[in-house]
Structure 1
């Protein structure tokens, strides 16, 4: 695929909560560079876990200061103290714009938020449209964002639909309309619908065979196996504690092999409680 050789791609992943966004974008990076080995990718991410993840070939990242999503549209600085979120956003926005100016990408992929967190992407979107007219802009969306009753009013109040029409060339939805028609559910207007491409679901091959994983973790397979996972773990403690208490109260703790995966973002005090409780 010589027409894609020596291209530059800039990927924005805000990562205000959890691991799903950054894992999805790293998977995309991996597939792009494997199929187009001359492509270089710059990943802009706020994930505090990026240093512990496997970075695909031809990919490097710029670490944005971490922010935490406290509620649907409320954010705060994760680690810095005595700094308000608006100043934090200005710092992030300046870093993003500087990266775009220097890297001059052929393609920009924005994950989930059309304008970034608190519109931090807007200066970069304007710069690209004015100064890099050949650069293509793509918005990447998982198929299920949230309950449409929650998402649609937010997108309307933030003017996202009009901004997508104005700045973006394509909208990639990582899913299938046969299973969930995101464009219809989120009431995307005609100007946005013309840009929508359903990519299908992203697939990442397992590093180990299933039987090897089971044999390593559970040498005694005479009992049923229960696997409890809560993603990154930031808000997963209630699920795990309910499972542990349910097993104890039901006096079924010896009937199952249980594997609990807390996730790297679960607070240490919560992980300690789980270790003691099990």
Structure 2
């Protein structure tokens, strides 16, 4: 069986990490299954992949804060870049001839770049699946975006199934939209995706600090400087906060911000800053608590490793993180600080102190909410092969210098203390 996966890649790491996790789960469930990921992520080569999983990298693009896109490296305009990407995607799809094509997040791809491949594969009888986060955006923003892109007709005519990567009781990403009955019938709520720390590790394996620690992670880091600054300011104002800070800055954080935060942590004399970790499960598993922005993957990891969490969501360019964080807080799964809160260091210091005593998510997490990978594997591959049902779905990660791929695994930027 062949599965092709399109990874929407315009900002951060979330889409790639989710698609990689799905691919690993699928090949772990069936011996004769192979998966190919299409992505424009500039750091996809920094990740290791299981046997029978590979990737095709298309020219990268980046989403600006105003919502527009621009080529990541090529000196051509965005229209030419999208046409080039669409051509590579179409030729890859025809040559690979997948039995199943899973499209992540963008129903027609960035700028419609997947539509031609979808229509040709539809004529071939390929099973077409759209995968959506359990939170996409506010209903108002998503309604306007999908109307502009003419998404609903595509959902009705092209896709066989629409997977929602969350449980039915958490959030409906299409709530507030006028969804035709024919589209509603295609929805499958899979549940959140349980994650595990890889069974083997390539590279440094010692804990980042000898003290019990709280992990502060803004995901890819491109818009995470405000969060890091706020938490670091809290430690500067209250150095006796019970848990030591470990800052995972992300490969897309601006170099000047990384250097500044590293210097401040060194001056603090406590904690450590890491630039990138391709397998953050190690750091989350070892942490006593987590501070995050509320992206999908980190939230799944918080639930999987059962860590008390403080979510500090962004609201631009999407309200996804805020909607998820507010819902999680309402269910008692995490604490919440929103941009309108008092941004003083004392406010964050109180929240960090509270994390040391907060109950874990398992105290209120309903049964089955972390079965997402099991459910989607059964829908694609059937019941797992007998000797693969308990397979480790992750792999070790090799080190790679940041200068070569915008990433390291891990790269220490600054460390407090001796």
Normalising by structure 2, what TM-score? 0.59
Give the structure 2 partner of residue 33 of structure 1. 27
2:141 to 150, 164, 184: 150
Offset at residue 219 of structure 1 (A): 2.2
The DSSP-based 3-state class of the residue aligned with 2:93 is helix
Q: Which residue of 2 aligns with 1:179?
A: 170
Verify: 1:113 aligned to 2:94, yes or no. no
Separation in 2 of the partners of 1:207 and 1:30? 12
1:36-55 aligned within 5 A: 36-55=30-49
- Whether 2:51 is the aligned partner of 1:63: answer no
Structure 1: give runs of 5+ residues left out of the alignment. Answer: 1-6, 209-213
Q: Is 1:103 aligned to 2:60, yes or no? A: no
- 1:190 is matched with which residue: 165, 174, 181? 181
Q: Deviations over 1:146-194 (max 9, x none)?
A: 1222112111221101111111111011101111122434443212101
Equivalent residue number for residue 253 of structure 1: 239
What SS does the corresponding residue of 1:182 show, helix, strand or coil? coil
Distance 1:147-1:65 versus aligned 2 partners, 3 A rule: same
Equivalent pair of 1:33/1:39 in contact (CA under 8 Å) = yes
- Aligned pairs (5 A) from 1:1-278: 7-71=1-65, 73-81=67-75, 83-130=76-123, 132=124, 134-207=125-198, 216-221=207-212, 225-248=213-236, 250=237, 252-256=238-242, 257-278=244-265
Shift of 1:245: 2.6
Measure, in 1, the Cα distance between the counterparts of 2:214 and 2:146: 39
Q: Are the counterparts in 1 of residues 137 and 173 from structure 2 also a CA contact under 8 Å? A: no
What is the DSSP-based 3-state SS (H/G/I as helix, E as strand, rest coil) of the residue aligned with 2:228? helix
SS state at 1:178 partner: coil
Structure 2, unmatched stretches of 5+, are 200-204, 266-418
Shift in Å, 1:216: 2.4
Contact persistence 1:37–1:58 (CA under 8 A)? no
1-structure distance, mates of 2:51, 2:98: 17
Give the Å deviation of 1:15: 0.7
What is the DSSP-based 3-state SS (H/G/I as helix, E as strand, rest coil) of the residue aligned with 2:216?
strand
Q: Which runs of 4+ in 1 moved over 6 A?
A: none
* Displacement of 1:122: 1.4
In structure 2, relative to structure 1, the CA distance for the partners of 1:102 and 1:266 (3 Å cut) is: same
- Distance verdict in 2 for CA 1:218–1:276, change over 3 Å: closer
Greater relative contact order (Cα < 8 A, sep 6+): 2
Determine if contact 2:135/2:172 at 8 Å carries over to the other structure.
no
Q: CA deviation at 1:11?
A: 0.6
- Does structure 2 conserve the Cα–Cα contact (< 8 Å) formed by 1:109 and 1:137? yes
User: What do residues 218-273 of structure 1 show as CA deviations (whole Å, max 9, x unaligned)?
Assistant: 3234xxx432110011111111112223332x2x1244511111011212221111
Shift of 1:215: 8.1
In the superposition, the TM-score normalised over structure 1's length comes to 0.88
User: Residues 220 and 129 (structure 1 numbering): CA distance in 2 closer, same or farther, change over 3 Å?
Assistant: closer
What is the distance in 1 between the residues matched to 2:24 and 2:262?
Answer: 35
**Secondary structure class of the residue paired with 2:12:** coil
Aligned-residue CA RMSD (Å): 2.1
The count of residues paired between Structure 1 and Structure 2 equals: 261
Report deviation, 1:276. Answer: 1.2
SS of structure 1 residue aligned to 2:137: coil
